[in-house]
Structure 1
Amino acid sequence: MLLARYAENAFWLGRYMERIESLSRLLMVTESFAADQDSDDAWAPILNVFADTDDFMKRGKPLTALNVANFYLSDAENPNSISYASHMAKENARSLRHILSTESWRHVSVFHNSITTLQRRRFALSKLSEICMNIRESCFTFRGVMESTSYRDEVWRFNQLGAALERADQVTRLIDIKYFRFDRDDDDQAAPPDVAWWNTLLRSASGYHAFQRRYSFNADPADAATFLLCDPWLSFSVTNAANTALYQIQRLNEDFNAGAGQDIKRAGAALTERLKSPPARLSGRSLHRYLDQVQQEIIALAIAVTDRYFAPA
């Protein structure tokens, strides 16, 4: 039987590696539309989506593109940064070193060393997309190494569960970076269509060509939101990630007698129902409100998983 602390290590190794990949994607999407402008309008949404505005302001630096990029890329004191997530991923992997495959441990260690170098060098904003793409590719490699070399035991299941929950949460934040401002608006007007932004978002989620196969060339942006949130066959969609998480919970129950418990079942059912019942049109304020609701359901499921498996009474 797997100790609870090792299950938690495996779970958070999956979450942190997925978070790194998602943060890299978010920075790439923001940079592609900011066009090197040190603009509040272009970079403030990232801080708002992660509720990091106050923490950023404590650094005493002006809100510029480069400062925000560094805050999420190389600031080891920021718990939402790639640097911090890399450190935590390695620490969780270290606790599992006697269980992880040699190849998986080696990749995490080498990857962490490469991220550490970002803290010691300055970079131009024009290099941000290249740096983030390299980080994403390393995360993809880790996913492939785990898939190819892991023994399919509880460690594997908890790792995949953590990664899936993190992916579901991060995709909602990636989409909401465009719509968080509707929290403050007094009207319910839908946001004007922004086809270029949605195309970039679809490409960042490796879903552009799949989207074109499902929809017409001039598809409505609301269709892109529905695709990223609700399509069960897109690997980066929220629905696919939620289904993956629930499948791993099912396998833990059936293969290892690790029963989910009523709280997990209720949270899983609520998330599934929410994803099956989106608003008629996913745009503007209705999209922002729906993303908030989905995030709350994902958080509730993650809390239920923690209470059941890692901190039992």
Structure 2
Amino acid sequence: MLDENPVYLHGLAGLSPAVPAIPAGTPGAAPTADDKTVVLRAILPDGVAPGSGRDSLDLPEKPVRITLEICNFDTVAKTGTVTVAGDGTAEPSDPVTVPAMGRAAVALTVTPKIADGGCRGELVFGGTFNGRPASRLVIPLFLAGRVGDFCRDVPMPAMLEPGSWSHHSSGSMTVAAVPEEKAVKFTVEFPDGVDRWAFPAYKLQLPQESLAGAAGIAFEIRRLTPGRIVFSRVNARWDGRFTGEGFEPPETEWQERRVLFHSGFEPERIKELEIGFNPAEKSFGWMIRNIRVFYTR
């Protein structure tokens, strides 16, 4: 009887297969007409920066001047124009010639055009040089200023109770209430020679705190100690699975952070949330308050 255990057959040496094995293939690049020797790089203007996870761009909903550096890795000069597609518009650039193994730059006035009710999109920069399309540069967009326009916030008061948080860190953590700030305070001391992380976990009170349909989490936060922060993240856990999203490291003054759940989150299945850090210092502390889960209207 065959089951999940291996079975060994003896005395079959010298047999030839009736159907020869299929030869192993050789992986290769898919054919393309794009000119991969022309590469675009965006140079952002002052006041425009990547999002907290450095995986998207938060643009104001008005024209923005973006400079495109064009690099030519071919041994012949290339002449062409740069265009914008996706969720943005701009007039095509004037023709520009890029010397062999050289670079040139053009500036485009780009206006984000994400549909009403949405906050995510992408800018797609491309162009044609010497009659061939250049490799595209795709920049994801996340217009953080729009999030509050189409979401409703639901407070999570139990997350301000110190006893609701597990002391999940590689050091010695304390959690305390700060009534005068309407906040909860976390402090951690790390021993020598450890990877420093502090991600206190809040176990959702299900079913009343189910995150089904949630779009993200918002909170006010400030740090209590100076020093470098390597990572700042909101993590979610459920049924042995784990995912997370970064946010901008806190300052010493109260500031709001709004973290949108990406497609890897399954809000209806989340059982625990972590809000924490990988600090570089041996001592680290922060406070958090006004925690809300937000939903699309």
Alignment TM class, shorter chain as reference: under 0.3
Higher helix share: 1
Larger strand proportion of the pair: 2
More RCO (CA 8 Å, sep 6+): 1
TM-score scaled by length of structure 1: 0.22
Give the number of the structure whose alpha-carbon radius of gyration is greater: 2
Q: TM-score, normalised by structure 2?
A: 0.23
